[in-house]
Each structure stands twice: as C-alpha cells, then as structure tokens.
A and B are shown apart, each in its own frame.
Chain A
Amino acid sequence: GDSVTQMEGPVTLSEEAFLTINCTYTATGYPSLFWYVQYPGEGLQLLLKATKADDKGSNKGFEATYRKETTSFHLEKGSVQVSDSAVYFCALSDRAAGNKLTFGGGTRVLVKP
C-alpha cells in the first residue's frame, strides 16, 4: 500500500537558517503530494501541494518539488523565522488507494531566536 516516510525530528534551528525536511513516498498510482503544518495549539492546515511530476508547490517562503524519479517531495525554506516553529506533515492522496490522505510521521521544527 501507499506510504510516506519523512525525517524524524525534532529539528532545532536558529532564526534565518535554511530548513530542509526530507519526504519520500511509495504509491500504487499517480499521487498528489501535500505538506500540511500544525502550529502549536492549532489545527492542521495545508502549506502547499503539487499534483503532478515536476510541479513545484510554494507558500509562505516554503517550496517543495514533486520528483517522480526519486519519489520525493522535500520541503525547503531559505530563512526560517520563530513563527515557523510547528509540526510538518508530508502526505499523499492517490485515487488508486481511495483518495484518502496517507501521512508521514511528522517532523517537529523549533526555531530559536
């Protein structure tokens, strides 16, 4: 079945540092890929998505490119802020698996001033 693997945290960074969170996937069909974020005390919200190979999703300074050849969707941000402290979830949705979201385990990111 479908699965998503992302790097375990916590990841601790200083403000203005570069952030990368690795995400790889296994899917039976042609999935859409998502990054969701959960800020402290808040619900899950979409950060960005890409629906086909080579698409780049971007939002709030974050980017991720759908790489079919490496089955990856790594999240990057060039200069993090304290407000980026959150838990980040990589996920996929695949029609062959019923359109539900399959999530990675989540990566907690802590940005220190």
Chain B
Amino acid sequence: GAGVSQSPSNKVTEKGKDVELRCDPISGHTALYWYRQSLGQGLEFLIYFQGNSAPDKSGLPSDRFSAERTGGSVSTLTIQRTQQEDSAVYLCASSLAGAPTDTQYFGPGTRLTVL
C-alpha cells in the first residue's frame, strides 16, 4: 500500500518567510510524528499527534514552529519567520497506534533551505 508521503520534496526560502510542510500518513495510522534531521543536531523529535489527544509539542525548538493535524489524517508543519538554522530535512512518520512497540514508518522528507 501507499507509504507516508510528504510535500514539497524540496523548499528553498528566504530568511524571514513562512513555510508550510505537508505530511500524508499511512491510511489507518492514528499516530503521526515530525522529526528534523540536520548535520549538527542529528535526528530530533519535534511533535507527536495521537488520535484526538492533545499533541506532544515538547520537541518544538521555538514558538515559530507549529503543527496541526486535520481530521486525524493530514498534518501541516508551519515555520514562521524562518531562520538559517531552520535549514534541515523535515521527516514525518506514522505508526498504527502510537505504542512504543509500534514501528514508525517514515516519509521521504522535505529538504528546507533557508537563504
């Protein structure tokens, strides 16, 4: 079946602009995660949605970052007033039920470059 999809695959923006990154999880998966992969910081957790529960936002690096998940499916990660340090690959993952034993399936990522 279809895996996790993300769009756009690449995004180049100017410092100070806002960007939106989209994630379509695997159908039927109730848990959705956002991570960031950068050279300096490795792979780091950003935010986690599980069903209708309040999201775990503990990994968001600043209040410029926000995310929503509409209808329990598609998610959008928004970065306001982008900075050069926001340049990274943003990865979305989904899992069946959000249990720690569940496999998280990753999308191909969105490469964000802030000039």
A31–B100 touching, CB < 8 Å = yes
B108–A43 touching, CB < 8 Å = yes
Chain A residue nearest in CB terms to B95 = A99
* Cβ contacts B86-111/A at 8 Å (1 or 0 each): 00000101000011111111111100
A51 contacts the other chain (CB 8 A): yes
* Cβ contacts A71-102/B at 8 Å (1 or 0 each): 00000000000000000010101110011111
Measured CB to CB, the residues of B under 8 A from A are 31, 33, 35, 42-45, 48, 50, 56, 58-59, 91, 93, 98-109
| Residues of B close to A36: CB separation below 8 A | 106
CA distance A100 to B102 in the complex (A): 10
Nearest-CB distance from B94 to chain A (Å)? 12
| Residues of A close to B48: CB separation below 8 A | 98-100
Minimum-distance CB pairs A-B, first 3? A93-B100, A103-B43, A44-B106
Nearest-CB distance from A113 to chain B (Å)? 28
A43–B103 touching, CB < 8 Å = no
The answer, among B35, B44, B100, B109, for a CB contact under 8 Å with A99, is: B100
A17 contacts the other chain (CB 8 A): no
Chain B residue nearest in CB terms to A98 = B56
Nearest-CB distance from B111 to chain A (Å)? 12
The answer, among A44, A49, A100, A106, for a CB contact under 8 Å with B45, is: A100
| Residues of A close to B91: CB separation below 8 A | 43-44
